[in-house]
Each structure stands twice: as C-alpha cells, then as structure tokens.
Amino acid sequence: MKLNVFFLLLLILNIGYANEDSTFVKKIYNEALVKGEAYNNLRVLCKDIGARLTGSAEAAMAIEWAENLLESYAFDNVYLQEIKVPHWERGTKEAGWIINAEQKISKLDMLALGGSVGTGGLIEGEVIKVESIEELNQLSDQEVDGKIVFFNRPFDQKMINMFKAYGACVDQRWAGTSEASKKNAKAVVIRSLASNTDGHPHTGSMHYEDGVIQIPGAAISPNDADDLVEWLTKGKVTLRMEMDCKTFADVTSYNVIAEFKGSEDDKIITIGAHLDSWDVGEGAHDDGAGVVQCIEAFRILKKLGYRPNHTLRCVLFMNEENGNFGGKSYAEIAVENSEEHICAIETDRGGFLPMGFDVVGSDEQLEFIREITGDLKPYDLLKFNHGYGGVDIGPLRQYFPTMIQLGLNVNSQAYFDFHHSAADVFETVHQRELALGAAAMGAMLYLMDRNL
C-alpha cells in the first residue's frame, strides 16, 4: 500500500512537471505569434543591410546591426568573437552567350561560383555536356581538351525531401571545376542547383583541388540550361563568357554572441544561424530567417522571465557560405576556454513551416529527444529522426562527440527555388511560418535546458 502511494506521488509530480512545460511552451508560441519581432527584424536585415558576403562592407554592417539588436534586449552578455575569414569578390557582372552553327546567339543568365577565378577577359570554347563527374571521367583527355564542360544533372524530382535532392547533385558544383581542369578543360558551367525552372542562376561554393590548374566556374539558370541542352541535340554549340571575380587576402571578422548565464552550472547549450549570405538577393531564407529566429527565441525566453539551468548561447556565425571559419573558430575557441558543450541547435533551412528536428546523436539520444518533445506535438512538430544538425555547429562534434545536435526541420519543397539566387528576398518569407520557426527554436531550447 505504501509503495502504491509512493508511485502515485511520483505520478502527480511528473504530471505537474509536464503541465509546467506545456504551459511555458504555449507562452512561447503565443508571444511569437502575437507579439513577435522576427519578421520586422528580418525586414531590417534584408532591406537596410542587404546581401552579406563574407568580407564585404554589408557583412560588417550586419555584425554591427546584430550586436546592437542583441544589446537592446539586455541579455546577460553580448560580445564579438574575432575570427579570420576569406575575402572573395564577384567583380563586374558576369556575361555569357551561346552560339550555334547557324550563328544564332542567346544571352545567358550566369553567376560565377563562389571562389572562382576570373576569365581574364572574354573566353570561348565548344560546349561538351555531361551529367556527372563519373561521366566526365569516362571521356578521354582529348575529348575535353580546350572545351567548356557543362554539368547538367538536375534535381531528382522523384525525391520528396529537396535537401536530399540537393545533396545528390552538389558535387558537380563543388568538385566539377577541378575535375574538368584535370582534362585541360577551359572552363565549367553547371545547371543551377534548383528545384524549379526559372531564369535565376544559383551560385554557391566551389573548391579548387591543390595542384590542379584553376579554371573559371559558373552556374547558369535552369531555363538557360534547358535551352543549351536543346541546342546541343541539334549540333555544335560554342559558349563565350567573361567573369571578373577575384580572391583577396583573408580579413578579420566576427561571430556575434549573446548569453544567458546558467543558474546551476556553466555547461553550454548553443542555438545558432549564419549571419553571412551570398552576394545576390538579400539572404532572406539563407540564413536571415535563421538569424532572426535565434534572436527571437532568446528574446522570448528573456521576456517570459526564464532563468536557465545551463548557460544558453545565441551565436550568429560569420562565413558559413564559403569556408565555415565562424563555426570552426567557435569550436576551437570553446576547447581553448575549457568549455563543456552539451547541445547545439541550428536553423539554416529557410523561414518555412517547421516540422520537427533532425537529431545528431546516438539511438539513445534520439529516444531521449522523442520522450521530452511530447509538448511540441500540438504545434505540429512531429518529425524527430536521425539527420543533419548544421554546418556551423558541426565542428563542435569533433571536440564534444557525446553532445546532442539538432537541426530545425522544415517543409523543404520551396527552399531551392530561392537558395543562393537573386530570388532570395524578404518578400518571399511568410510571416507566420517564420514566427512558428522562432517559437520552435525557443521551445526546443527551453526543453533541452530543462531536461539535460
């Protein structure tokens, strides 16, 4: 009988604890949806500062804006973390044309790939089309010599998750230029990594392999890629292109950090997003949305009077797009300072409808996440599976291999319509979905702090 009473008391205590969490999560959502500030903060970041390529004046302005905004919310600590970052500039607008055997000309919508060398003036070459690096490597050096290689692999539209579709073809952007150079190609163009078909080219990072001659790399719009494919079915096509991009010496930049000090210990839970963007569009979905969601999550916890058990950090990383030196430096400095990191949560998939969180950790850690997130089900956060945390928080796992990492999982269908293109502007972000993402980040941060 006494044992039954004991278990009854435990049940009552657990119910009370669960009700307390449920009530607080509801307060987080109510604040985000009724009095949220994320959407207006994103408008300022996009419209008053704009695209924020690492090393640019706009990136420097974004750092100042973020520091001032965080200080205005009176968090326990706000500071800049100095880092070294690469400095690449696009230069004058890219120019490109295709010409067929009948001398018909069509102008291309083209963007240099991030980190590419320039062309050194107008260059010209016959186009050779391949669908993959594997197909390129099956060609003889003679077949490729002096030509411009066109990588044409599109998204697999049969895939439901567009992030997986992106991952299946991103190698042609990252490594295609060096692989083509090994066969003495003159340059590379790729079909933009996009889920839709429109006139916007999509840029993104590419990599030069050590010891391989650096040749220009560019992306053309999906529409232009379709036209080029059609022209190639009818005969020889020549491509002319000019790009003026350059790489300069590394420069000093900063991660922007805000903290809530822990009331029980100094163990650290990080939420983060990247402040930099590519230099086209406004970086609204990638990753302005994540930046304002993290700030909003912190703002809401502060307004609701929450005092965390562990130290909470909001980190706005610099240089995710072309080097990840913000994420790498943050992890290295954490080790130098003998910090203990137990969890990190990232939002870098656009301001779209949140669906749950990807979990980086053991099977036991995944089960733990599923057990503590029952209070998120009423908000349609239902997907908690092994997956990907994020580029910025990823380096922490090298030094803290037992920590849990979480990545906000969103509806992926529209993200690559905008990704790394001029279409990624403030007007494409849905105010309510952005607020729901901010609330999801705040609620998950609260639950992790309560339960770890």
- The CA distance from 172 to 362, in Å, is 32
pLDDT at site 16: 53
pLDDT in tens, 420-434: 999 999 999 999 999
pLDDT value at residue 234: 94
pLDDT in tens, 304-352: 999 999 999 999 999 999 999 999 999 999 999 999 999 999 999 999 9
The 10s digit of each residue's pLDDT in 30-85 is 999 999 999 999 999 999 999 999 999 999 999 999 999 999 999 999 999 999 99
Catalytic residues: 320
- How would you class 345 by CB atoms within 10 Å of its CB: exposed for 0-12, middle for 13-18, buried for 19 or more? buried
Bridge-based pairing state of the strands 217-220 and 383-386 = unpaired
Strands 354-360 and 383-386: parallel
Q: How many CB atoms lie within 10 A of CB 138?
A: 10
Check whether 14 has a pLDDT greater than 60: no
User: Backbone phi, then psi, for 67, in 5-degree steps?
Assistant: -60, -45
User: d(Cα 392, Cα 406) in Å, to the nearest integer?
Assistant: 12
Residue 272: closest CA among 239, 249, 298: 298
The full set of domains in the chain, from first to last, is 27-88+249-451 (3.40.630.10), 91-244 (3.50.30.30)
Inter-residue contact 443 to 293 (CB < 8 Å)? no
**What pLDDT does residue 1 have?**
40
pLDDT higher than threshold 80 for residue 2:
no
Task: With residue 274 as reference, give the H or E element that holds it.
Answer: strand 268-274
How does pLDDT run across 245-276, given as a tens digit for each residue?
999 999 999 999 999 999 999 999 999 999 99
pLDDT digits (tens, 9 = 90+) for 196-240: 999 999 999 999 999 999 999 999 999 999 999 999 999 999 999
Residue 227 CB-half CA count within 13 A: 18
369-409 confidence digits (pLDDT tens): 999 999 999 999 999 999 999 999 999 999 999 999 999 99
Q: What pLDDT does 19 receive? A: 85
pLDDT single digits (tens) 161-205: 999 999 999 999 999 999 999 999 999 999 999 999 999 999 999
Cα torsion angle, 71, 74, 75, 76, sign: positive
